[in-house]
Structure formats: structure tokens, C-alpha cells
Amino acid sequence: MSVLAAMLTLMLLAAVMAVVSRPLLIARKPDESYTPKRSELEAEREAKYREIRDAELDYRTGKLSQEDYEAVNGALRAEAVEILNKLESSERDRVGEEDQAAEEDRATDPAK
Amino acid sequence: MAQLGGACLILALAVCAYGIGASIYGVRTGRAEFSESGRRSVYALAGILTVAFAVLELAFLRNDFSFNTVADTSSATTPTFYKAAAVWSSQEGSLLLWAWLLSLWSTLVLFLTRKRMRDVSAYATAILLGFGGFFIALMVFYATPFATTDPAPAEGVGLDPLLRHPSMMIHPPMLYSGYTLCIVPLAFGMGALLARKVDAEWIKATRRFAMAAWLFLGIGIMLGARWSYSELGWGGYWGWDAVENASLMPWLTATAFIHSLMIQEKRGMLKVWNVSLVLATGTLAIMGTFLVRSGILSSIHAFGGQTLGVPFVILIGVLILSSIYLVSSRRDMLRSEHRLDSLLSRESIFLANNIVLVGLCFVIFWGTYFPLISEALTGHEASVGPPWFDRYTVPLALILVLLSGIGPVIAWRRATLANARRNFVVPLSFALVTLAVLLATGVADSKPLALAMFCCAAFVLGSVGQEYWRGVRVRRAIAGEPAPLALLALVKRNRRRYGGYVVHIGIAVLFVGVAASSSFQHASELSLSPGQSTKVGAYTVRYVRPTASVTPKYDPVHTGSTLSLGAVLDVTKRGKHVTSLTPAEDFYDSGEPAQGSVAHLIGGQPVSQVGMDGGIKRDIWSAIAPDIDTPRLKRIIEIGNKTIPLVRPDEGMIAIAVMAREYMRSPPPAEFHLIVSPLVMWIWIGGAIVACGALIALWPAPSTVRARVSVRARSRAARRLARA
């Protein structure tokens, strides 16, 4: 292997090592706002909002009768409320857990 | 530099192995730092493969014939434009392109999902790296692009003349982008099954990638069709060739997925179906690559120099078995959350469209792999031709076009019969008026299938036109905007819906082109001498005079041919001049001196240069096969072979020039292939409309960049929704 190729390979290897090992060497604070459940609920919420908008557009463009629209819209909004409530309770649970953890911290270390 | 390229491949393989291990360890033990490290392995892989690809590309551009790949597929005389594209004309280069594109798309999707679906994306990372590792291992152990020869040959063989076409610069990267993008939803689908998180989130995260895969595959297919039409000299754009079919199959299943995923997003239904479609699309994409690269089925598009069949068969086997296992073992989780509210709903139409699309895919799969199946069962390789494909695909295509017109006018969830009847008035009127006009003019009397396709396409135009009209009217009533602004606002606020409608228009236009050009084509294959003429459809074509041009090999503006023999054809209709066509056949250096010092200069594979007058109404297409085996021309070559040394190609070119002059002086009869096809351009226009519609649907909606709302804001929204 030529000297230039060897040097370039070593530089590449060093860069790869730096990129790949960074999370293992530098402990990052985890993103506390992330919970799989909330992320899933947020996806559901977006889909439901889109469905509400679509139903309204279907009604306004004459594809849904007044009666059908009211039934569909009511059902969709109830489902959306359910999702938002779940989101809210998951958020409350998370904040509660954080407060509890902070209190436990203070109890074990009053200096905090 | 070859050593750097080779080192990159080994490093890339090591990174894949590490990344797979780190991702799986991270997700299994809950140690996010390892999952994160695995994800970063994909970024590193993209960087390494970018360096490797740049090394190979530079070798081509610098004529470094010490690289075997460069010597085999390029030459100093290959024009620079084509040298850059020659990288992916070789087996090794195309494997590198595949792995590189996969690493880029993987990097993009993993970056975009870095804060979401941690478990799913960790498994997806491992799967994506697994695919990357497979292709890199092929390059390390079977077909390395960085193999060298010392001493380097003075000149390369040159790029296959058939590939010296502008669309060949873009066609393979587009197709490979499509194939590699198909792997992204597959990896996330498998990841969702492995992580047991089969909600709509993985669909939401990969929907754009599925659409991009569909778009790129579609562009690749259209460019391939265009290349076939204007370069292969047989006058068609689609021949049901194995490799053409291989790219169409994942496109069809991706089309089905793009429609059915909306049902899962909205209703939590069809989870098994969607995940199966995603897995099938990814597997078909791998099978497409396998067909091109393994040479297992004969095809005009297959460029596999050596067989990579066994590793691909193992990969495909693993994919199919693991897909079946994952879907069946998670079937409890994949149960639908709702049932169909009504048979008269958009969901039902989407289901019907899915069945037709998958049916089409099955027919094409059967026809494509029939030679292998028949050989396995009977020991004899039998194949099916275009008439077999047409028999089954034409009725299915008709139903598909019709459904693409019905879908837009039916509401989600449920539609009343009265509303549906009212919504069908305009589209049906369009179809009936078209039928009446075509019957009255007698245009399509003898072609019932073409007539049916024109009526279905009119139905689609009526249906989509009505949707746009009503949408604009609603928008104007709400916002009081002028019509053009209302149209823009409507599309902007509902990109997926109205982008999709544009795609439907494009498909209808494309199928009108296909139906018209295949049903009403006039073709003639005959021998003509200068001064003779023939009738093709309503046109008279006269062979006016021959043409001949000698292009020195080192002329960089040409495709690299040494000799081009052609004709000037005068096309008239009822005595009036319509156009002049100049078809030609280009002859290339074979790179085999054993043929003789002059003969080898024109001994390569001849390539047709089509003479065409294309228009919105019809294409007049011509190709020529000049006869260079006349005694006089052969005598010139023989004398040149005997008297001119191999080391004097310049003198050899003088002999070629003498030959060209002789051809002009007493031209022998030439074989012509003449075709008049109506509405071929509609196919390309339809394809462009489809691409525009897909881009509209793909473009991020403002809602996706919406700031995260607070809990209090969500509570307020909940109260508002409940009151409404």
C-alpha cells in the first residue's frame, strides 16, 4: 500500500472511530420528553386531525351528506378527544414521575 | 488509489458488522448509547462509501486502466459524459452504487427519526446495515471494483455502445435509488414487527420514503422505456422483458402500499396487508437487482458479467422466510382496530385497487419467472411472450384506470348512494361523450379494448376535474380568493390528496398513449434502394440518399463511433412534405485487433440511431440496417487489413473513410424499419405529470413543521373538539 493511501486510510479510520464511539464516550442526557407511548399517540393525533380535515372537505365538496357528515365528524372528534386525553394523562404521568424523582433526589441529598 | 478504495470496502464491512451488533445490543439491553452508536455507524458507512465511490469515479475520469473495471468498461476515447456514467455499467460499479445509495438513504431516514421510535429504528438500523453489509461483502469477496492489473493496459475496451445514450446517465441511478429506497420501509416494517410496535408511527416515518421509492422507480422505468424506444432499434418502449418487469413489480406493490397505508393511518386497519406489502416490495426490489446482476434470465437489459446468483438466492430466501415468520408470529398484534363502515367508501375502492395491483404483480411475476419454473418442473426452459402478458394485464389495467377515477369521488368511511350518483354524473358524462365521439368518427371501431381505455381515461379526467372544480369553489366560498389563488391554496393545504389526483391524471394520459400507440400502430420492415418509396399508414416514405460519416475515435463530442452509415428519408402525406428523417447505424471499434487492423475499427456491436419525428399526435419512427457486407466494401477492408499495420489506427481510419465514400458512391439496398404510432408522446407527458403529482404529494406540508404544542394547548383543543 502506498504511503498516501495508508495515510488516507488511517485518517478515514480515525474519523469513523470518532463518529461511531462518540455516544459511548460522551454521556448525553437522555431526551426526557421522549416516551414511545407519547410518540405513538402523537402520530395517532396527526392522523386523526387529517381525517377530520378530510371528512370536512368530503362534506363541502358534496361527497358526504349532511347526516353522514355529522355522524362521521362526531365519531372522529370523539376519537380525537380520546387521543388528546391519553396524551394529557401520559404527560401528567411523566411530569409526576420527574417531580417524584426530584423529591427523592432532594431527600437523599438536602444540598440540592 | 485502488488500495484506498479496497481499504474503504473492508472498513465499510467492519462498520456494518459493528453497527449491527451495537444496534441489537443497545435495543436488547436498553442501553441507548449503543443504539446511538449503531445509528452513527450508518452515517460513517455513508462517508466511507462516498470516498470509495469518488475513488472509482476519479479512476474512470482519469482513464486509470490499472483498475480492471475501468479497462473493461471505458476507454480513453469514450466521451467524458459517458465515462462518468460507465461506473455503473459494470457489475462491480453497480454494486458499489447500490450500497452507496442505500447508505445515503439510510442516513437520511435515521437522521430524521433520531428522536422517535427508538426501538424500531434500532432494529431498522441493524437491518439496513445488514443489507449494506451484504452488498459490500459481494464487492469484497466476489466482484471488487478496485481490482487492478500491473502493468496497466494502454487502452480500455470502452463502454458498451448501447449504453451511450443520455438517459443511461440517469436511468440506473434512478432505478437503484428506487430499489434502495424500497429497503427503507422494509427495514422499518421488520423493525416494527421485531420491536412489537406495529402502530401507525413506523408508517408515518417511512411513508415519504415509500413514495420517494415509488417516484424514483417510476422515473427509472420511464427513462428505460424512452431508451428502449430511441436506442434499441426495435421501435417499442415496453417488451415485457424480464428486467423491465423486475422494476415494474416493486413499483406496483409500492403503489398498492401508498394507497393502503392511508387506511391504516386513518382507521388502524389492514396492518397485516400493509406490512406484507412493504416486505414484498423490498424483496421484489432485491429480486430486481438479482435479475439484472445474476444473468439468470436472458434479457436485453441484463448486464451481469459473472454470476452472483447463489448469494442473492440465499438473501432472497432469508428475506421471504423471515418475513413469513415475523408476520405470522405477530399476527395477534396486527389485528385491525376497526371494520369497514360501508362497502361504498373510499376504503373499499382502495382495497379493490390493491387487489388489482397485486393481481397485476402476480401475473407479471408468473410470466417473468415462468422460464425458471418450467425448467424446474419439466427440464425445458419455456417462456411467455408479450401476447401472454397483454391477455392478462390489459383487462387489469382497464379496471385500475377506472378505479383511479372512482376513488376521488367517493368519501372516506361511508358514502350514500344518492351522493355517489350525483358525483358520478360529470365523470360518466365525460366517458359517454368520448364514447359517442369515437364511435361517430369510427376511430376505434375495431379496437374495443382501446375504446374502453379511452372512455376510462375520460372518466378519470372528469372525476379529477370535478374534484378540483368543487375544491376551488369551496375554497373561494371560505376565503373569498380568486380562482387561481384558491387552487394554489387548496393544493397547498391538501398536498397528498390533490397531488394524488394529479398522479391519477398522469396515469390516465399515459394509458391513453399506450392504448393508442399499441392499437393503431402502422409498421413496415423492408429493403429500399435510393429513390424507392413505401407507404406506412397514411404516410409515404422515400429513401432519398445515403449518408456516411467517419468520426475519428478521439473526437470527444461524438458517442465514440468510428463510422456511421445512414439515410435521408423524405416523409410526405397526400403529396405534401411532412418531415425528413435521418436514421443511421453507428459502428464501433471492437477492441479486438485479431479481427484485422481495419476490420476491428468497425467490428464492435453496431448501434441504431433512430430517425424520428415526434409530435403530440403521432411519431414517425425509422431505423436502418445498412448492408456493409457487399463485395466492394469487404474488399476495401481486406486490403486495409493486409496493408495497414495495427499500430497505425490513423491509416486504418483512412481506409474506413474510403469505405464510407464507396458506400456513398454506390449505395446498396438497406433494410428499414418504419413505424407510425399515434400518441406515443402522451406516454412521456403522462409520466411527467405523474412525477409532478408525486412531488406535490411528497412535499412536506406546513403541519409537519408545526411547533410542538403544550399540554395546556392540547387540553384546550380537546375541549374545543368535544364541544364541536
Q: Do A55 and B711 touch (CB under 8 A)?
A: no
A30 vs chain B: nearest CA distance in angstroms?
8
Domain ranges for chain A: 32-108
Q: How far is CA B464 from the centre of its chain?
A: 26
Identify whether the C-beta of residue B42 lies closer than 8 Å to the C-beta of residue B36: no
B497:A64 CB<8 A: no
- Say what the pLDDT of residue A49 is: 87
Q: Which residue in chain A has the smallest CA separation from B22?
A: A20
What's the pLDDT at A36? 64
Minimal Cβ distance to A80: which of B37, B494, B721: B721
Q: Do the chains contact at A9 and B19, CB–CB below 8 Å? A: no
What is the nearest CA distance from B395 to chain A, expressed in angstroms?
A: 28
Q: What is the nearest CA distance from B674 to chain A, expressed in angstroms?
A: 50
For the CA atoms of A47, A52, A58, A59, the dihedral, rounded to the nearest 10 degrees, stands at 170
Handedness of CA B360, B274, B352, B686 (dihedral sign): negative
Please state the domain extents for chain B. Answer: 1-161, 404-520+683-705, 530-668
Q: Is A88 in contact with B715 (Cβ distance < 8 A)?
A: yes
Q: DSSP letters of B78-98?
A: S-HHHHHHHGGGSHHHHHHHH
Q: What is the pLDDT of residue B28?
A: 92
Select from B81, B93, B113 the least CA-distant residue to B49: B93
Cα separation of B523 and B537, whole Å? 8
Task: Among A58, A76, A87, A88, pick the best mutation site for testing chain B contact (most B Cβ within 10 A).
Answer: A58
Q: Calculate how close chain A gets to B89, using CA atoms only, in Å.
A: 26
Nearest CA in chain B to A67: B416
Amino acid at B263: I
Burial class, B486, CB count within 10 angstroms (exposed 0-12 / middle 13-18 / buried 19+): buried
Chain centroid to CA B580: 32
Residue B707 is predicted with a pLDDT of 44
In chain B, residues 395-454 whose CB comes closer than 8 Å to chain A: 409-416, 418-419, 422-423
Listed residue (B21, B129, B44, B97) closest to A12, CA to CA: B44
| Nearest-Cα residue of chain A relative to residue B409 | A63
Percent of chain A at pLDDT > 70 equals: 82
Q: What does the block give as the cell for B700? A: 412536506
Residue-wise pLDDT tens digits, A16-47: 999 999 988 886 666 655 566 777 788 788 88
Give B-chain residues touching A49 at CB under 8 angstroms. 703
pLDDT-flagged residues of chain B (< 50): 300, 305, 704-711, 724
Cell of B637: 477492408
Residues B388, B393: Cα–Cα separation, whole Å = 9
Whether the Cβ atoms of residue B663 and residue B628 lie closer than 8 Å to each other: yes
Contact flag B48-A58 (C-beta cutoff 8 Å): no
Nearest Cα to Cα of residue B541 among B589, B594, B583, B483: B583
Return the number of other C-beta atoms located less than 10 Å from residue B600's C-beta: 21
**Cβ <8 Å between A22 and B37:** yes
Task: Indicate the residue of B7, B32, B494 with minimum beta-carbon distance to A57.
Answer: B494
Q: How many helices (H) and strands (E) does chain B have?
A: 21, 10
Residues B211, B698 contacting (CB under 8 angstroms): yes
One-letter amino acid of A46: E
Instruction: Report the C-alpha dihedral over residues B613, B616, B618, B623, rounded to 10 degrees.
Output: 30
Closest CA–CA distance from residue B63 to any residue of chain A (Å): 19
Contact state of A88 with B266 under an 8 Å Cβ cutoff: no
Q: Do B201 and A40 touch (CB under 8 A)?
A: yes
Contacts of B199 in chain A (CB under 8 A): 40, 43-44
Q: Name chain A contacts of B15, Cβ cutoff 8 Å.
A: 16, 20
Q: Which stretches of B113-150 are DSSP H helices?
A: 118-141
